[in-house]
Amino acid sequence: MAELLRNLQDSRLVARFQRRCGLFPAPDEGPREKGAARPPGAEHLSAAHGPGGGAPANGLQRVAAPQTYVQKYIVKNYFYYYLFRFSAALGQEEFYITFLPFTHWNINPYLSRRLIVIWVLVMYIGQVAKDILKWPRPFSPPVVRLEKRVMAEYGMPSTHAMAATAISFTFLISTMDTYQYPFVLGLMVAAVFSTLVCLSRLYTGMHTVLDVLAGILFTAVLIALTYPAWTLIDCLDSASPLFPVCAIVVPFILCYNYPTSEYYSPTRADTTTILAAGAGVTIGFWINHFFQLVSEPTESLPGIYSIPPLTTDMLGLGLAKFSVGIVLTILVRQLVQNLSLQVLFSWFKVVTRNKEARRRLEIEVPYKFVTYTSVGICATTFVPMLHRFLGLL
């Protein structure tokens, strides 16, 4: 078993997958320059280079703070290149922060709430596991790395694989007994979506095979363990008038006590964003229930409902609702973020617009938590109210 795990974590396995898909490192044209920019007119694209060109990982080991170098690469198969770059984008937090509100405004608020709860749970566990295990990403060379932002994060498990698996199969499980559609077709869509995102993590050189398989396995176990409690979770927003206090305090404590790292990485900030958005959505549903500001969310009632045909009017209405919602949430996000940063900078006597100061624990966690909690409340409460006012419901 130990030998199998070492083989699955071997960077050369990822490199072989990249070569089969037509992605190759460019010939070495001289010493690498740390932080070097891509020269104008260069024929090859740029990517992040790993820790000092280290050797492939042959054991289960930890890694120190990664170095970021510019590396050139050659694409010989653009079909796979664009397919997996697009698939990688489907695994980013930005996609889910867009898709989940769309589900709430245009499909079913009940379904959206369940998806958000499961997404928050698996992402928090995955992010924390990364900073506890501290396992390395694939080494470069031999792997070509195509992303820079997450280079400062550890690799195990792949949270992209976790999020894609959780969203796709939670969506399938939550709708198969409510809406009328071929189960096999739904299963195929869920499997294809999650598989493409998982393979994209290998193609972009950001995860080993072991990272991806672990992410899928962790998610499967979490879904199996939490599934019996899904109905109970759906009712929590009406359980008690004090529920919002718990929904805010517990996630904030989890963010503020996030595992420390030897160097700064965006993992804590991303985790705070996810937990805060989940807290905001939970509070939004509580507000809707106790103050009856918007219609009650559609519950999972016995019976099968036909999916209405997609017409031009329905498409236009959905686009209008989504556009109105996104504009309002972006305005709220920008306003609350600016105000919270101003207050925190003033409180801690920090120079305004100091980007480095934003990374301090006492500033980063509060401003992101307040900002995205407000976004979650806005998306679930004020946006539907605006839809009703505009006659879009």
Prediction pTM value: 0.80
Tokens representing residue 281 in the block? 């959505």
SS3 content of the chain, % helix, strand, coil (to 5): 65, 5, 30
Tell which residue, 198, 199, 187, 149, has the closest CA to residue 48. Answer: 149
pLDDT tens for each residue of the chain, 393 residues long? 777 777 788 888 888 999 999 888 887 654 444 433 333 333 334 344 443 344 333 444 444 444 445 568 888 889 999 999 898 888 777 777 788 888 888 888 888 888 888 999 999 999 888 888 888 888 878 888 887 766 667 778 998 999 999 999 999 998 887 888 888 998 999 999 999 999 999 998 888 899 999 999 999 999 999 888 887 777 766 666 777 888 888 989 998 888 877 777 778 888 899 999 989 988 888 888 776 665 544 444 445 666 777 788 888 888 999 999 999 999 999 999 999 988 888 888 877 677 777 778 888 889 999 999 999 999 988 998 898 888 887
- The residues that are catalytic are 160, 207
pLDDT at 64 (0 to 100): 44
- Distance between CA atoms of residues 163 and 140, nearest Å: 25
Return the residue matching tokens 């009632």: 301
The answer to whether 8 touches 213, Cβ cutoff 8 Å, is yes
Domain locations along the chain: 2-84, 242-393
- Distance between CA atoms of residues 268 and 364, nearest Å: 9
157: helix, strand or coil: coil
